[in-house]
Every structure is written in structure tokens, then in C-alpha cells.
Structure 1
Amino acid sequence: MDLRNRHGIITGAGQGIGRALAIEFGSRGAHLLLVGRKESTLTATARLVEAAGGSAEVLTQDLTLPGSADRVVEAVDSWTTIDLLVNNAGNVRAGRLERTSEADIRSMIDLNLVAPVLLTRALLPRLRAGADRDSIILNISSGIALVGMPFYSVYAATKAGLARFGESLRRELTGMGVHVATVYPGATDTDMMTSQNAGADLGWERRSLDDVISDLLSGLEAGEHEINTAPQGRREMQRLNISDPMAVDAAMAPGLADLESAVRDHRSM
């Protein structure tokens, strides 16, 4: 995949993976619409994109609100080309299901799953109209979509849903000039993880943001559709979860109480 001079939209661009991707695409000459809820963080990202050699516009928008996808489309209506969509915006609330509020459940479903589906649907006619190369739809799922972790049942459901959405859409768009890729980051050292205290001993080895982005871009440039950036230990668990899921259950069981304590305050909404 040629990642140079892309024109596109990145959601959740104010921090973490979204900001890092915006800078990387900016360094390759991109013109971007940065979408998120906080104007101050989006503006900071825009400055970093411009410093890297790209250009950026900012749209402050809560993607869970009715009509938000239409507002994104309106913001890029005058663009002659749209050949990139990064569905990155997401949120998380960990804890036992019965202690998770309905508001937090709906918030995760609406932002992590409904919003990218509606935004992709709204932008697809423009993305299919690429002239000389494939457009890119990049969905940021999670390693938790491959191994459902305890105390993350709703978050896992939304990220698994996003992954299967991408897989199905990829097959639907065969031959239509759109490259659909799904990324499965493991635990990554970003602001989203600051309230989570589980470490490698509980199965939550963290990778640096730079390493995750490097693997992500390498996979995308190589034309991969399924990009796994998890550390080796987690990949072994992913393989075991396919061949013997009950063995994964047994391995996790002794540490459940410690894990619950370590993640009970994990909230990024």
C-alpha cells in the first residue's frame, strides 16, 4: 500500500494511537480531518501534523450523537479526494458486568461499534471513487477481540464486532478499490491505559506506542488486512484460545481476584 499523500479522516485523533497515526500520515504528506470531542487536543494534533509535513483540519464532534456521520461528510464535502478513513475513536470501562452502568455499556457500544459502522457507511461512496489507487479503511480493534479478557465483556464485544464488521466489509468490497484492514493492538502505553494497573504478571504486558505504530504501518504498507501488534506472549495465548479455550480459562482462574482489583478503576470515557 502506498501511504503517501493520503486525504482522509482520523477519529479519536486527539491522543494515543489516533494522534500517532495522524503524525505518521502527515509525515507522508497527508491532508487530514481530525475528529474528536476536545478541540484543544485536536488542535495540538493538527500542529504536530503540520510540523511533520502534512496539513490538517479539525472537527469537534461527539460521534455517538445522531447525525454525527453526516457532519463529518459535510466537513469534507469540498475535498476532491477521500482515500483514507481511520476508525480509531473508542472508550472503555472495565469491571464486573453487573456493576457496569447501563450508560457506560451504551457508551462503549455507541462509540466503539455503532459510530464506525455509520461513519464508514456515510463515507463509502467517496472512498470507492478513488482514481488511481485503493482507498484505505483502517479499523482499530483490539487484541481483546481475539482473546476475551475477564472484566472487559462489553468492551470485548464491541471490538470483536468491529473486527467482524471489517472482515465482512472487506469481502463485500472485493474488486471495488477499497483496502479494508483491521488492527489488533495489545495493551499499549497510552493515556487510555493510565487508570489500569494490571501488568505482565496478569497477562497485560504493555508495548510502547512507537512500537505498536511501527508494526501497524509496516503491516499496512505490506498490504495486510489483519494486523496484529500484540507481544509474543499474548500471541501464544491467542493461538491457545483457538485450539484449547478451556486451557486459557484455567490459566486465568488463579489470578482473577488480583486482575479484578487491578482493572476496577479502568475507565476512559
Structure 2
Amino acid sequence: MEGEEQPGQGQDDTASGEESQVNASRLDLHARRGLVTGAGSGIGRAITLELADRTCSLVLVGRRAGPLEEVADLVREQGGRAWVVTADLTSEGEPERAVAESVQALAGLDLLVNNAGNVRAGALDEDIDVPDIYAMVRLNLLAPILATRAALPHLREAGTAHGQAAVLGIASGAALVGVPYYSVYAATKAGLARFDEALRRELTGTGIHVATSYPGATETHMMVSSQAGADLGFERRPVDEVASEIVAALEAREADINTQRPERRELQELNITDPPAVDARLAPTLGALREAVRNHRSI
């Protein structure tokens, strides 16, 4: 564990049942204690800085200490508090350890952001190796399930105390429309979305809100190795803009937070009403799409 001078009490000690009544229609993220996985870059970094603007106390989890420390410094400059936990969340016991160290640093937990993820695109039988399949399943789906399970006792305590606890899963637009050459990635993100949905219903009345975000193509390091652009439906949005929308929607207690561009949302609606029409629309692009994404890998 690396971070501030000494682990201290979170800033929720004065929270009460009255607070939960006053803010029942909105999720109050001000001065909350949060854990963000994959916080060193991309959407995780941008969400972390959004939370820092709300003077949150945050534990930043990821594989590389350097980027995490840089973000932690920015959190402190913006008025928040920050600690760093380095962990490979695909390894046995690491999601649980990250949660335990976070709870120790923060003296509790109000918010869990399951953001860490990876991708390997390409034809399933020709481009994607078995180790990459395991890596996506372990990080995109198994790690958030295990981290959430470990965090739930602490989130329940926060939910009982002030009714403002939350779990946020960062899924993908691929969870809503299966995109060619992203079959395994889509499966893991759809799994995360259904996990969040079921858990939200399971936790009704506990003071814990569960939400899932569905970003489309976003300007992040994760997308550097992809050559797919607007002509193939992958026009990228600025990461800060996406993160701002996600956090604002979380505060509004939205359950499904869709930050995709309008054309992708239209495809999503068509996929509900007429899936074969989506097949037909995408078919002419298959060759070009495979060439554009066959080297897309962030593992």
C-alpha cells in the first residue's frame, strides 16, 4: 500500500438516515470513500479525477505503480485523498486483497468502480489465442465479481449508515450489440452487465445503488492498437467527456448509462427489434473490419 501519511477515517462519519431521506432521488458522491480499478489510465483515470473534484478519498488499483501515483498526485491537487494499491486482478486472491487494503486505508467503503478491463480482437479461431481468452474472462468478468463480493459487507455498512453506497461497472457498447471480431470481449462485457443488473435487484432496499455504463469507442490507450475509425462505426469520443457523463448519470441514480454516439444507439435499437437487419448492415464491412482490428490488443 502506498499513499498518504496515515490511513484515516472516511468522511462519512456524520452521515445519517436523514441524509438518505433528503437525497433519496440522487446519489451523493461528495466526500465518499471509493475504490477504482484500472485507475492509472483511460476511463478509470478520468472517472477518478471526476471523483476527486467531489473531494472523495480514493484507492487507485492497477498493475503499474507509476501511472497510479501520477493520478494519485492529481487527486490530491484537486482536493481529494488518494492511496495506491498495485495488483494483478487476474491472479488468485488479488481482487480480495485490493478490497481489503482499500477498506483498511479508507476505514470503510462507499463506492466500488469496476473499471479494469482488457481486449483482444480478431477472428476467434485464427487471431485470438487461448491465453488471451482466459485473460479477458479473468479481468473483465471474474475480477469484478470477486471484488464486488469482497466489498459487499463494507458497502452494506455504508448503505445502512447513509443510503449512498454504489457499485459502478464499466461494460461496453459491445455488451449491447455483439460486434464482429469482438466475440470474447463482448461475452465478458455482457456478463458484467447482467451481473450488475441481477445484483442491483438483489440489493434492493440496502442503500446500495448498482449501475452499469456502456461506453462506445473512446480515446484511450486501450484503443491505440485498433485501426478502426468512423467509417467502420468506431468514431471515438474524448475520454474526459465520457467520464463526466458517466459520473453525472451515476449521481442521477441511472442504472444503465449509455455514452455511445447516436448512430451506435440506433444500431442497438435495431438489434432489439430486428437482429438479422444488423447482420445485413455489418456484413459488407467484415473484411475491412477484420483488417482494422486484428492487432487490437491491450493484454
TM-score range, shorter chain: over 0.9
Among 96, 100, 106, the residue aligned to 2:123: 96
1:46 correspondence with 2:76: no
Measure how far apart 1:124 and its partner are: 0.2
Measure how far apart 1:40 and its partner are: 0.4
1:119 correspondence with 2:147: yes
Among 7, 29, 38, the residue aligned to 1:3: 29
**Corresponding letter in the other structure for 1:128:** R
Provide the residue aligned with 1:60 in structure 2.
86
**Corresponding letter in the other structure for 1:123:** A
Measure how far apart 1:193 and its partner are: 0.4
The answer to which of 133-142 and 77-86 deviates more is 77-86
1:129 correspondence with 2:147: no
The answer to which of 60-69 and 154-163 deviates more is 60-69
Measure how far apart 1:211 and its partner are: 1.8
Query: Which structure 2 residues correspond to residues 14-93 of structure 1 after superposition, within 5 A?
Result: 14-78=40-104, 79-93=106-120
The answer to which of 207-216 and 241-250 deviates more is 207-216
Q: Structure 1 CA distance, aligned partners of 2:95 and 2:188?
A: 19
**Corresponding letter in the other structure for 2:230:** A
**Corresponding letter in the other structure for 2:261:** P
1:156 correspondence with 2:182: no
**Corresponding letter in the other structure for 2:92:** P
Q: Structure 1 CA distance, aligned partners of 2:264 and 2:45?
A: 25
Helix, strand or coil at the partner of 2:157: coil
Provide the residue aligned with 1:259 in structure 2.
289
Q: Where in structure 1 do 4 or more consecutive aligned residues deviate above 6 Å?
A: none
For 1:95-122, what per-residue CA distance to the aligned partner results, in whole angstroms no more than 9, with x for missing partners? 0000211100000000000000000001
Identify unmatched segments of 5+ residues in structure 1: none
Provide the residue aligned with 1:169 in structure 2.
199
**Corresponding letter in the other structure for 1:74:** A
TM-score normalised by the chain length of structure 1: 0.98
**Identity of matched residues, %:** 57
Measure how far apart 1:48 and its partner are: 1.0
Instruction: Say what the alpha-carbon RMSD is for the aligned residues.
Output: 0.9
Measure how far apart 1:223 and its partner are: 1.2
Provide the residue aligned with 1:140 in structure 2.
170
Contact 2:96–2:146, Cα closer than 8 Å, also in 1: no
Measure how far apart 1:77 and its partner are: 3.9
**Corresponding letter in the other structure for 1:262:** A
Among 223, 229, 232, the residue aligned to 2:259: 229
1:184 correspondence with 2:186: no
Distance of aligned partners of 1:181 and 1:43 in 2 relative to their CA distance in 1, 3 Å threshold? same
Q: Structure 2 CA distance, aligned partners of 1:250 and 1:76?
A: 48
Larger Rg over CA atoms: 2
Query: Which structure 2 residues correspond to residues 240-259 of structure 1 after superposition, within 5 A?
Result: 240-259=270-289
Q: Structure 1 CA distance, aligned partners of 2:256 and 2:281?
A: 26
Q: Structure 1 CA distance, aligned partners of 2:239 and 2:99?
A: 30
**Corresponding letter in the other structure for 2:94:** S
**Corresponding letter in the other structure for 1:200:** A
**Corresponding letter in the other structure for 1:149:** V
Helix, strand or coil at the partner of 2:213: strand
Q: How many residues align?
A: 269
Q: Structure 2 CA distance, aligned partners of 1:85 and 1:190?
A: 21
Helix, strand or coil at the partner of 2:116: coil
For 1:226-245, what per-residue CA distance to the aligned partner results, in whole angstroms no more than 9, with x for missing partners? 10000001000000000001
Provide the residue aligned with 1:219 in structure 2.
249
Measure how far apart 1:218 and its partner are: 2.0
Q: Structure 2 CA distance, aligned partners of 1:208 and 1:91?
A: 19
